[in-house]
Structure 1
């Protein structure tokens, strides 16, 4: 008897082999190990040369250690963290380097009195004391510039924001290397020439640099140089909320790799009639949100977040769940709707956490049924079908391939966290599918792997690299004539880069970025959207006809690949649900060990798909149905499934989304009007007098405890 799907997934996760860390990381790990070994070896050689003493060897070891330090911060940023874990951070390393030079000088200068070097040693110690003082002042400056609210697209000139101090003064590792370099060079020169004046000159220059840095940072602490204080910023934020009067917002919390989840809802939110707002919780996320004209506020602390309770904000939509979501759900004056960042048959699309929201907004009837069958506590009355506003612009099916090539988009998802072999087809079927597609001379392949591929299972990353090599080899064999560089694409790229490039300098901190991004040009988001569409058109036109493509950059987008493709091959994920908006044929790889009947029963989104086995034997027949629509027996099923997954074509998804926002906003307003009118005794926890609780032996419950009838 076959195991249930969940049991098979569990066992598959247990059996999945774990590869050693070094083997999984490959060449980057070897480079890190080699660099760390060279640096450690340089210190050993320097110590031996200082004790010998041996001037040429001491000079060479010192120069090598300094050169490797420069390489670390440029190309091997993981090595400093490795040394820091061993309590050998940059300060310790620099002190050790200079100390060994001093030891070498003392060993070399036996004919002189040791008191000659005492002033040099005192000056060196003073350099390190100034370094510690600069670091302390740098921390104080950073605290004054760390505001309780970070904003974007909001005029924050009243907060007295200013450019950040030079990055060199804020980064202890870089600062010590630069400021201490003259002292180290002077000590090295003295070891070669036996002239203490060289060391004195170098140490003096280091002292001057350190003292200048300390003064420059200390001036930032003067009252007129500081940004507004915490209470002043909070008062300013409350005044801005009262003036702007937001009505609907997007709440998002997550890591750097999840920013796309919020990005897909920016345009639908911007097209609403109300006054939208984006609420973030992580400071770094403020600059990562794509171009938008919507005001953005980051409220890292819960007490600051609670100030939204007294604003006019009525509705917050949530594209994802996070640990910090529970904090904003405590605000009773705001209604919350979970909109998700994609829908599929996976368990994540009917997470029990969804019952915490006031409403769950889904694309179509299939998601409503999914929640009902999952029995996770989401009541049917709280499920609202709004479609997928992001898909309104996806071009519909326009017939079989018109050109010489059939464009196939292979977009597998990643391996996930549970070890289920059916999550991604890359490991078990990726190479077979790609080989079968490349074997057809009339196929042009677009390969777009998930950005997280290989992040959990190294086998997925290895399979992804092999697939890319297969595509490169096929392009070399096909020898597609490459046209001249497209001037149109170059122009469009320059325009799009100009609109989307960071407007702040590399060393800018959050306060400076907040200042620079406070007043964006009007209509910038729409200009970016137009420039993106123009760039995508120029990109596809610039490619050699028939050349296979590996699409891994942010541009072109997945939806742009939908428009370019005649066929999609993917896994069970939200990609196939979104692709159905086009009405084009699609296929799904079955790599979980199920029979086709079990696979279709377990995953309703594959009902209108061609099911491919890991050996990819069905690819030729699949391509035949794409090129000859009369052989395609699933066209009607795709239309029916599209309606079930995404809802009706009319009214549009954007209209249904706007209607859901208005309805939930009205509910929030009714709640605000109704609750304040109630007497305190009617609200739990608001009674002015409490009845003493005494235990009644007969009843077994505290006497005076209110009971429900």
Structure 2
């Protein structure tokens, strides 16, 4: 279905507007510098003053509303320091050319003062780097009392950002030079430079104080000793290991609650510092171990099992620890090739939801043996409500939750590009439909066409939503109250400019009962969110809240792609449809992807949407109800025992296996067998080293081969 040119024009307007604004800022800044140069060389005082003021105003716009252009200037070697030096240099040139007599001796002190200001700026930057390094700890924590590490609040943000600092601290000097140009009086320039020098000197002194021995956080050796002591005192048994970027945080988030419900002493192990405070609200202790040498300290801890919700390049590093057992739990299951990745054979066990995933690994022949596959269900799906009948109100709520384009470039991974707009238009054409659109967080990260189509879909939904009734004032007020309660319980008490050390100081061990209070606040916010929406309002749902499962509970129908969303939605028993945008016909499509067995298959032109909506509203026309129940058992396993119990049993069994292996390793015969390599301690395996002799800070060499 071709897109009307008028609609395409409307969706392209925001992008053109953004580009136009950026070009205007760039042109304004360039014109201001050109006018400054002309005003300085003529010299022309009004032009020089006006151009300098315009350049300063453009800088303010740049840092306030066009932050993306700051990095562009830096890449072009025209960062704030270069621009500021050029601006002041042109003012000095203008000063020296004023009047008919040579003025070098009159304004030489001002030039010297200006040079001193830039020298102080460089000194502050050098010291700020030293301060940052002193506050970069080898271990970053959350929900752990780390006050013993002499943690302190971070320096003011202005002292840590060179661009902002130079702009603010240099403003008095620039203003003084402008006044000197206007009045031909060096006293104004001297006053402005004095203020800048005073501010810079105070900033330098504040940073130097943080380098004093008593003001710095604990050193690396002390932090590592503290971490070893914490491991010994806490004695973790099972952990969640995760490495990834901000957009993939959801992969770890979905396992936080099941891990917390296990009881015992769980821990979350991260590798990227930025992820420590990006994970969802949880009371679980979180440790970030960026370096491999620090990660290897887990070998001598009580930790027995690590659960892996995703594969990453850094996963291979933790697999080298021989005392741990590793289970791949994934962040969702689907028929896509990524759900039976050959990397899975590196783990001790692969935990799947039901028999279908076991069969998928067997058919894929990627090296995962059937004995290493454990069916645990999906413990997260307790939050999904079961089917309660057809839509009871005037509206049928449809959730369109497409997946992303994927790394492999396989056509048809996502329906957003070729079918998304057609599906949305067909749904919006039905006056009895309320549409919820929840795109995958990574949509558009690989294929720009997917990102552009996603923006057009959002605009279609928002335009249609403007024709529906407005919000409910009373319910909106309740949503504000619930949001405030949620923020109070989950936000960090650190100020906005806090660094990782300050957050470690403020986000210590949570108070008893906090987890239950957060759960109640989350449920209250969820109910208030949906209550605040008019019954028929369309909505684009992004971000962490409301969660995908919350959208499941409000939807009467799901339209998605071949992805793990389908498997999870089957727990509800509600109808679903899958968009077939690849090269296969429907018969081959169903044969290739078992999760489509109980779905209505939609073509890219969305011609089947009206019939699909009739089947949802009139269950007698729904021919897939029994097939959905059977498919749910295949994909998710039996209803009894519950998935949370199967998950707990799998954790306990793997912990027991890890303990047995550790006991066997520690119980080797004391005497060396004949023919062993000389020079080893009795009972030591080839390549094994004594933990005490190696010392807690020693870098441990890797073991070869698969753990276990």
Contact 2:386 2:571 in 1 (8 A): yes
Q: Rate the CA distance shift 1:584–1:681 in 2: closer, same or farther, 3 A.
A: farther
Contact 1:250 1:278 in 2 (8 A): yes
SS of 1:140's equivalent in the other structure is helix
Q: Say which of 76, 88, 91 aligns to 2:66.
A: 76
- Pairing 1:11-26 to 2, within 5 Å after superposition: 26=16
Would you say 1:448 and 2:427 are equivalent positions?
Answer: no
- Distance in structure 2 (CA, Å) of the matches to 1:37 and 1:622: 53
SS of 1:277's equivalent in the other structure is strand
SS of 1:224's equivalent in the other structure is coil
- Distance in structure 2 (CA, Å) of the matches to 1:561 and 1:182: 54
- Distance in structure 2 (CA, Å) of the matches to 1:682 and 1:359: 33
- Distance in structure 1 (CA, Å) of the matches to 2:126 and 2:316: 36
- Pairing 1:91-170 to 2, within 5 Å after superposition: 91-170=81-160
- Distance in structure 2 (CA, Å) of the matches to 1:472 and 1:158: 51
Q: Say which of 190, 200, 208 aligns to 1:218.
A: 208
Q: Rate the CA distance shift 1:545–1:678 in 2: closer, same or farther, 3 A.
A: same
Q: Rate the CA distance shift 1:677–1:513 in 2: closer, same or farther, 3 A.
A: same
Instruction: Name the counterpart of 2:451.
Output: 461
- Distance in structure 1 (CA, Å) of the matches to 2:235 and 2:381: 30
Structure 2 unaligned spans of 5+: 1-11, 681-708
- Distance in structure 2 (CA, Å) of the matches to 1:685 and 1:564: 70
SS of 1:117's equivalent in the other structure is helix
Q: Which moved more, 1:428-437 or 1:582-591?
A: 428-437
Structure 1 unaligned spans of 5+: 1-21, 691-709
- The C-alpha deviation readout for 1:88-139, integer Å capped at 9, x for no partner, is 2211111111111000000014425421111111111111111111111111
Instruction: Name the counterpart of 2:469.
Output: 480
Q: Which moved more, 1:436-445 or 1:325-334?
A: 436-445
Instruction: Name the counterpart of 1:697.
Output: none
Instruction: Name the counterpart of 2:366.
Output: 376
Q: Rate the CA distance shift 1:205–1:368 in 2: closer, same or farther, 3 A.
A: same
SS of 2:269's equivalent in the other structure is strand
Contact 1:415 1:454 in 2 (8 A): yes
- The C-alpha deviation readout for 1:317-345, integer Å capped at 9, x for no partner, is 01111111111110000111110101111
Q: Say which of 315, 319, 322 aligns to 1:325.
A: 315
- Distance in structure 2 (CA, Å) of the matches to 1:166 and 1:567: 51
- The C-alpha deviation readout for 1:480-519, integer Å capped at 9, x for no partner, is 3653342322221221122223321111111111001023
Contact 2:422 2:605 in 1 (8 A): yes
Q: Say which of 677, 692, 695 aligns to 1:687.
A: 677
The list of structure 1 runs, each at least 4 consecutive aligned residues, that deviate by more than 4 angstroms after superposition, is 22-27, 679-686
Contact 1:608 1:634 in 2 (8 A): yes
Contact 2:355 2:635 in 1 (8 A): yes
- Distance in structure 1 (CA, Å) of the matches to 2:465 and 2:19: 31
- Distance in structure 2 (CA, Å) of the matches to 1:534 and 1:115: 73
SS of 1:616's equivalent in the other structure is coil
SS of 1:31's equivalent in the other structure is helix
Contact 2:308 2:327 in 1 (8 A): yes
Would you say 1:303 and 2:293 are equivalent positions?
Answer: yes
Instruction: Name the counterpart of 2:34.
Output: 44
Q: Rate the CA distance shift 1:103–1:422 in 2: closer, same or farther, 3 A.
A: same
C-alpha displacement at 1:369, in angstroms?
0.7
- Distance in structure 2 (CA, Å) of the matches to 1:385 and 1:27: 52
Compute the RMSD of aligned alpha carbons.
2.0
- The C-alpha deviation readout for 1:332-381, integer Å capped at 9, x for no partner, is 00111110101111111111111111111111111111111111111111
Q: Rate the CA distance shift 1:353–1:526 in 2: closer, same or farther, 3 A.
A: same
Q: Say which of 478, 487, 504 aligns to 1:514.
A: 504
Contact 1:291 1:500 in 2 (8 A): yes
Contact 2:252 2:309 in 1 (8 A): yes
- Distance in structure 2 (CA, Å) of the matches to 1:407 and 1:86: 50
Q: Say which of 527, 531, 538 aligns to 2:517.
A: 527
C-alpha displacement at 1:216, in angstroms?
1.1
- Pairing 1:181-330 to 2, within 5 Å after superposition: 181-330=171-320
Would you say 1:504 and 2:487 are equivalent positions?
Answer: no
Q: Which moved more, 1:428-437 or 1:204-213?
A: 428-437
- Distance in structure 2 (CA, Å) of the matches to 1:686 and 1:341: 45
C-alpha displacement at 1:219, in angstroms?
0.9
- Distance in structure 1 (CA, Å) of the matches to 2:176 and 2:604: 67
Instruction: Name the counterpart of 2:548.
Output: 558
Q: Say which of 401, 408, 416 aligns to 2:391.
A: 401
Instruction: Name the counterpart of 1:592.
Output: 582
Q: Say which of 345, 348, 363 aligns to 1:358.
A: 348
C-alpha displacement at 1:684, in angstroms?
14
Q: Rate the CA distance shift 1:685–1:114 in 2: closer, same or farther, 3 A.
A: farther
- Distance in structure 1 (CA, Å) of the matches to 2:586 and 2:98: 82
Contact 1:680 1:686 in 2 (8 A): no
Contact 2:492 2:503 in 1 (8 A): no
C-alpha displacement at 1:540, in angstroms?
1.6
- Distance in structure 2 (CA, Å) of the matches to 1:568 and 1:116: 78
C-alpha displacement at 1:30, in angstroms?
4.2
C-alpha displacement at 1:566, in angstroms?
0.9
Contact 2:492 2:507 in 1 (8 A): no
